[in-house]
Structure 1
Amino acid sequence: MIPGLTDDAARECLARVPYNAFTALFSVCKLWRQELRDPTFHRFRKSTGIAQPVVVLVQPYATYYTCAGLMLYRLVMFEPATGVWSSLPPCPNLIYGLPHSCRLATVGTKLFVVGGWKIDTCLTTDEVHVYDFVSGEWRRGSPLPSPLRSSFACAVTHDSEKGCGTMYVAGGHDASANSLRSALAYDVAGDSWKPLPDMARKSFDCRGVILRGKFLVLHGNLAEAFDAAAGSWGPVEEFVPLGEELPTMCIAGWDGSIYRCAGGEVMVQLDGGVWATVAELPGEMRVPLHAVAWEGKLMVMGLGMRNSAFVASILDIKATTTMTTPASASWRNVEVPPEYQWDVEVTCCLVI
């Protein structure tokens, strides 16, 4: 791969190149392209601690000029390791920005933008757009089957050995704003969709997470889980006490636990469905709205105390568990440049 070096030595060199230079490496030669595409290469980067998390957010950036009040949306990246904020290259097929109420998912080095409704037509779309962080290119994925939907639950199971996974979609609104019970599964490697059994109840403005291998759809204080091995949905169960909604949810990948923000605290669900306080939210955060997790870290975003500005902080979960009280949690404030101090519609994270 590199003249004068063994393949192992060449792989060590390539693995140490920052991910944002992968597009340049990808264009060098066929062997480097094959290496960058190989899941083994990315597992090696992660095993050596070279890989870094990248948080991806959907944020507005302008008002749609023909319809005051509607916003155009873009993809924004935040690198926790460096503190750098930037915008992803726009999708050439989305000249009016991302669909509203779309969903994001990541598998390996790919980012999926699914569903939602397009601002130029005000119609629900079947489009799936895929961004490859290795090649730096966009492509179209297999269209979302009917009924088309927005504001739905979405989550992905990963196969780290093969570098692929399965994306699950459930609930949401159809084109006529009707709530849905239907669900779908998307095979990332095969670029194909298949229908799943309907849920027991209709769910809209819902959230999807993967918990112990099952796809959980969260709506209000209730949850319904799909077991892929059994091919069926479990019973609808109370997930949090009645009257407590789920404003912020995510899975912390390093331990498989589910976290939420409630009452000014970060909480984790223990065995038996019991919720325990992990940390108090930072004092400058008035309203937590979104959260995303990666190994040992939890990033919470929301409205601040001053003029309801966008603020963000990162919780070191591993360090926090050694503290004596939740009030002494180890938070790091995130500096957000003015051009990225916008509300967040949806977010996800990948490690690359």
Structure 2
Amino acid sequence: MEDLIPGLTDDVARECLARVPFNAFPTLFSVCKLWRQELRDPTFHRFRKSTGIAQPVVVVVQSMPDIAESARPGPVVYRLVIFEPATGVWSSLPPSPDLPFGLPLFCRLAAVGTELVVVGGWEPRNWATTDKVHVYDFLTGEWRRGSPLPDPLRSFFACAAMPGSDKGCRVVYVAGGHDENKNALRSAFAYDVTGDSWKPLPDMARDRDECCAVILRGKFLVLSGYSTEAQGMFSRSAEAFDVTAGSWGPVEEAVLEKEAWPVTCVAGEDGRMYQCTGREVIVQLEGGVWATVAELPGEMKLALNAVAWEGKLMVMGLGRSGDSLVANILDIKATTPMPTPASASWRKVEVPLEYRGRLLDPADDDVSHTWIGAAPQEGNKGDEMCSDVSFPQTTASSFDPTHPASIMSTKPAKRLTPSHALTPL
């Protein structure tokens, strides 16, 4: 039997391979068939996680920053950026060859295993709704096209990924949004990333446009949104899809504490749901009661997204001095819940100028915004393909060319619905 590394036992060779950082996985993958098989084996990634080698990585979808101010600003284009909490290093992922104008506006991100799935959105050149699916593989460093999202064409839908398993079941769920005529939808679908196939799910009980979703205690929980007749009137209700039973549970009317937008909800490792609302971070306790965990950092004007992993909560949003990206990390293990939220200790994340990308204030009608998509790659319980990359559930981005002048003068939908993805690599 051929050795992983000639002259070494497989255990020692595996130790050596496991110590290679995730951004060098494509190099390892290209060496030989044995190494490719090793990298594809969930056991290898569980080993990296168990030894503490694997670290969470946050994937951010943001616009290319306007570092040089100009009298005639160009079109806003989007890219995928990764942040490594352990080192504070920021870097960007390679763009998809199929997306020369950057990632679609308002697309959704979901992370499963060692892959990142980009679903739907608006074409950057003409703002036409797209059903395209693009999948980035962190092992190969390459993009591939996935099967398109089934009809009807939809925008502003909820999206979340169910962690994988040893059986290779890795699924992305999509629900709600609105069709081309701005009619709110209640239909839902599940995308099998391994099999590259979609299947319809039972409809939700209610139409939900601009809804969001989290995977909470093994269920696909769709939150908030509004019906066609109630444009912009976000509800506090939610309904959960039980993956095992294959059905939706009853609508819960007052899951969220407030009717608010953006709905920045995230599932913690402790099985609780956290939300940024107003100037506070809150957590849902037993019985559906919400308690304050912390006040947002003073430098943050508006929280647009959050991602949780391994007892940490990273909040990203708009800074008070300009609309650039600011981010802070809170140790939720040490602060849940806090009798004096103002005393919560936040760790400021230093964001280099080239990774600040302009963010859109929801009250603005401009297109210069950034969506944040993140994912705690290693910290997701239940996902067996654990390595270095994590994603929170959100949407996002890319970079490059030019919108026609006629389109540049047209205003897109007023609201920007953040989306994110959580996954381990």
The 5 Å alignment of 1:129-140 reads 129-140=134-145
Match of 2:198 in 1: 193
Q: Identity percentage over the alignment?
A: 68
Match of 2:43 in 1: 40
- Contact map agreement 1:313 1:331 (CA 8 A) in 2: yes
> C-alpha distance in 1, partners of 2:169/2:53?
21
The answer to whether 1:297 aligns with 2:312 is yes
Q: What's the TM-score, normalizing by structure 1?
A: 0.93
Match of 1:77 in 2: 82
Q: Structure 1 stretch 199-208 or stretch 159-168: which is displaced more? A: 159-168
User: 2:246 is matched with which residue: 210, 231, 234?
Assistant: 231
> C-alpha distance in 2, partners of 1:117/1:263?
29
Q: Structure 1 stretch 159-168 or stretch 26-35: which is displaced more? A: 159-168
Q: C-alpha offsets along residues 310-343 of structure 1, whole Å, 9 cap, x if unaligned?
A: 2100111123349763333231100111122122
Which 4+ residue blocks in structure 1 deviate beyond 4 angstroms? 67-70, 321-324
The answer to whether 1:8 aligns with 2:48 is no
User: 1:125 is matched with which residue: 124, 130, 149?
Assistant: 130
SS of residue in 2 equivalent to 1:71: coil
Q: What's the TM-score, normalizing by structure 2?
A: 0.78
- Contact map agreement 1:39 1:162 (CA 8 A) in 2: no
User: 1:347 is matched with which residue: 352, 367, 373?
Assistant: 373
Aligned residues: 348
TM-aligned CA distance change 1:153 to 1:52, over 3 Å: same
User: 1:55 is matched with which residue: 50, 54, 58?
Assistant: 58
Q: C-alpha offsets along residues 267-322 of structure 1, whole Å, 9 cap, x if unaligned?
A: 11111101111122212222111111111111001122223442100111123349
> C-alpha distance in 1, partners of 2:213/2:194?
21
> C-alpha distance in 2, partners of 1:212/1:246?
23
- Contact map agreement 1:107 1:164 (CA 8 A) in 2: no
TM-aligned CA distance change 1:314 to 1:263, over 3 Å: same
Q: C-alpha offsets along residues 116-139 of structure 1, whole Å, 9 cap, x if unaligned?
A: 121224321121111011110111
TM-aligned CA distance change 1:146 to 1:37, over 3 Å: same
User: 1:250 is matched with which residue: 251, 266, 285?
Assistant: 266
Where relative contact order (Cα < 8 A, 6+ residues apart) is larger, the structure is 2
* Cα deviation, residue 173, structure 1: 2.0
- Contact map agreement 1:154 1:169 (CA 8 A) in 2: yes
> C-alpha distance in 2, partners of 1:170/1:93?
25
User: 1:116 is matched with which residue: 100, 121, 129?
Assistant: 121
Give, as a single letter, the amino acid of the residue that structure 1 aligns with 2:265.
Answer: M
The answer to whether 1:205 aligns with 2:210 is yes
- Contact map agreement 1:108 1:163 (CA 8 A) in 2: no
TM-aligned CA distance change 1:70 to 1:176, over 3 Å: farther
Give, as a single letter, the amino acid of the residue that structure 1 aligns with 2:316.
Answer: M
- Contact map agreement 1:249 1:261 (CA 8 A) in 2: yes
Q: C-alpha offsets along residues 240-291 of structure 1, whole Å, 9 cap, x if unaligned?
A: 2454455311112x21211001232211111110111112221222211111
More strand by share: 1
> C-alpha distance in 2, partners of 1:139/1:231?
29
- Contact map agreement 1:152 1:207 (CA 8 A) in 2: yes
> C-alpha distance in 2, partners of 1:258/1:128?
28
Q: Structure 1 stretch 185-194 or stretch 39-48: which is displaced more? A: 185-194
User: 2:295 is matched with which residue: 277, 280, 288?
Assistant: 280
Give, as a single letter, the amino acid of the residue that structure 2 aligns with 1:94.
Answer: L
Give, as a single letter, the amino acid of the residue that structure 1 aligns with 2:267.
Answer: I
> C-alpha distance in 1, partners of 2:104/2:323?
25
**Unmatched tracts of structure 2, length 5 or more:** 67-71, 225-233, 360-369, 379-387, 389-425
